[in-house]
């Protein structure tokens, strides 16, 4: 059977469980609340930076258009005297605005008369949208790949070149059309805008930015998404305001995504671009998870610390209980001791007093029971054990004899001449005689032996004897008893003499059953009576005592 856990260990374990559970509960609640707050904060930030980027793109496009409009109003273009002056002006403009990949000046038929770096001069672009739309008015075209310029412009990255077109008609001094000012803005300009605005945020939060066209195709973003059309549910939301939402992207992962639509700038209506800023949801929740982990870590440490403190405190408060338990163990072992009288704390003091009173009450009851048991097992006249005591003693005597590989010598005694003394001197004298006989029988015994009065003038001796000397020691005790009882007895100044007959048997030498051995001893007593009395007879020897 496993020993029960101590109060100290249970208390320490309870503290560990409570603190750990509280830490887990607080960590979970705080983590959930922090996750919600972080999601809202990061979502607003993503929506805000998305708006900043799309606003910057709109402003830059509007400013490029303004530059060209100002350029178109110059006399050198409206009434050119020398085409070289126009080419020099265009080269200077491209140098000042690097995002302009190409800019050219055409006649009314669409033939390029002058251009930056002389590229496409003499080539007709009459069928290109940049000319067709620009001849009608200010034209700002959406992103497209290069056709004529792909092999003519430098391309260090090797990636497909993309442009945004800006073109407008040129009118002479008389107001008549004289040509078109057409330009291709490198789409790499949008990447430069993204880096200048977003790189710090992208490094700090692992944020990605995408620019979508009006048809939701990816114009700028991760290489694997370029040209794909996104089908995000939030894109179906017709909102002119920036907003954020958690979206499931084509890679199957949830992202916290900020949205901002192009709203144009001043007279520039915009091209319907949508800027998205996204961050993996797990990345956004990382601070909340780290905080939850720290709370659980600190909670575990505090649980162990409080458990140690609880262990020490419980030891201090349970020390009085251990003192009471130690005193109770000593009482159980039969030692004479008292339950300590403790005064603090009050509950233990009450327990101490209650146990003290209980022990005192039980002691009094046990004393009373012992007295009653002594009376129940003692002969009231002689003080010798009676039959009840004998029946209780015999099993213990058997066990002790077996444990020590010994024997029990069973001696039945019957007084000879008691009835005449009782008749001659009276019953009172007879009682005195029996009391004297009891005293003499006790003197014949050794430690561990017993003599009991069976009734009237019959007695029984139980002797603990070793097997190899069982017959010899039994006879010695029998002879000593005969001699002790043969001496005269003084009865109120008058002397009386009695003797006794003894019948003996040995257990288990004479018989393995104790009852049968007693019967053999009784039969030996009968033989001693009929052989002349005042003698001892044994079952085996059946020799008269010397």
Active site residues: 457
The CB-side HSE value for 12 (13 A sphere, CA atoms) comes to 15
For residue 382, give Cα distances in angstroms to 204, 448, 485.
107, 19, 15
360: left (phi over 0), alpha (psi -120 to 50) or beta: alpha
User: Cα separation of 112 and 96, whole Å?
Assistant: 22
Structure tokens at 131: 């000319």
Q: Which residues lie closer than 8 Å to 152 by C-beta, 6 or more apart?
A: 119, 120
Note whether 466 and 500 are within 8 A (CB): no
Q: How far is CA 339 from CA 120, 325, 326, in A?
A: 115, 9, 9
d(CA 8, CA 422): 73
- Length reported for the chain: 546
Structure tokens at 313: 């405190």
DSSP-based three-state secondary structure for 534 = coil
Other CB atoms within 10 A of residue 390 CB? 19
Q: Residue 447 is encoded by which pair of tokens?
A: 């430690």
Burial letters 122-160, b for 16+ CB under 10 A, else e: eeebeebebbebbbeebbbbebeebebbeeebeeeeeee
Tokens representing 248 are: 């499931």
Kindly report the number of other CB atoms within 10 A of residue 518's CB atom. Answer: 19
Q: How many helices, marked H, and strands, marked E, lie in the chain? A: 13, 18
Find all residues with CB under 8 Å of 103, minimum gap 6, and list them. 68, 90, 93, 94, 115, 116, 181, 182, 183, 184
């Amino acid at each position: 059977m496993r020993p029960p856990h101590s109060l100290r260990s249970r208390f320490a374990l309870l503290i560990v469980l409570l603190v750990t559970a509280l830490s887990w509960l607080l960590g979970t609640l705080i983590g959930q609340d922090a996750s919600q707050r972080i999601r809202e904060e990061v979502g607003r930030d993503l929506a805000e930076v998305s708006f900043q980027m799309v606003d910057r793109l709109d402003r830059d496009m509007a400013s490029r258009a303004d530059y060209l409009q100002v350029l178109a109003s110059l006399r050198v273009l409206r009434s050119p005297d020398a085409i070289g002056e126009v080419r020099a002006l265009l080269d200077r403009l491209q140098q000042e605005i690097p995002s302009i990949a190409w800019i050219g000046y055409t006649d009314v038929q669409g033939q390029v008369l002058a251009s930056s770096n002389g590229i496409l001069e003499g080539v007709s672009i009459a069928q290109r949208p940049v000319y067709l739309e620009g001849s009608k008015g200010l034209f700002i075209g959406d992103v497209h790949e290069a056709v004529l310029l792909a092999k003519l412009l430098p391309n260090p990255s090797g990636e497909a070149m993309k442009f945004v077109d800006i073109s407008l008609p040129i009118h002479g001094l008389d107001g008549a059309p004289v040509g078109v000012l057409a330009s291709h803005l490198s789409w790499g300009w949008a990447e430069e805008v993204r880096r200048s605005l977003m790189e710090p945020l992208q490094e700090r939060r692992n944020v990605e930015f995408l620019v979508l066209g009006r048809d939701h195709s990816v114009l700028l973003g991760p290489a694997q998404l370029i040209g794909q059309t996104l089908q995000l549910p939030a894109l179906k939301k017709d909102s002119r305001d920036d907003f954020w939402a958690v979206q499931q992207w084509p890679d199957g992962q949830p992202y916290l995504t900020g949205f901002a639509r192009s709203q144009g700038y001043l007279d520039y209506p915009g091209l319907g671009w949508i800027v998205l800023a996204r961050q993996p949801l797990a990345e956004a929740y990382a601070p909340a998870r780290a905080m939850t982990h720290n709370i659980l870590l600190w909670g575990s440490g505090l649980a162990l610390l409080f458990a140690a403190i609880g262990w020490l405190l419980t030891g201090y408060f349970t020390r009085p209980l251990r003192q009471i338990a130690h005193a109770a163990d000593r009482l159980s072992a039969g030692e004479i001791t008292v339950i300590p009288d403790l005064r603090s704390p009050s509950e233990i003091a009450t327990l101490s007093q209650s146990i003290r009173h209980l022990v005192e009450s039980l002691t009094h009851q046990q004393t009373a029971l012992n007295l009653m048991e002594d009376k129940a097992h003692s002969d009231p006249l002689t003080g010798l054990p009676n039959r009840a005591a004998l029946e209780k003693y015999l099993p213990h005597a058997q066990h002790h004899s077996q444990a020590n590989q010994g024997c029990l010598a069973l001696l039945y005694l019957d007084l000879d001449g008691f009835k005449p003394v009782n008749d001659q001197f009276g019953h009172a004298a007879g009682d005195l005689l029996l009391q004297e006989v009891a005293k003499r029988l006790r003197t014949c015994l050794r430690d561990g032996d017993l003599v009991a009065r069976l009734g009237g003038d019959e007695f029984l001796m139980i002797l603990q004897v070793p097997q190899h000397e069982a017959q010899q020691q039994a006879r010695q005790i029998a002879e000593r008893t005969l001699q002790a009882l043969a001496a005269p007895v003084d009865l109120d100044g008058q002397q009386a003499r009695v003797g006794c007959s003894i019948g003996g048997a040995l257990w288990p030498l004479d018989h393995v059953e104790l009852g049968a051995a007693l019967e053999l001893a009784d039969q030996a007593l009968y033989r001693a009576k009929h052989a002349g009395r005042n003698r001892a007879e044994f079952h085996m020897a059946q020799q008269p005592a010397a």
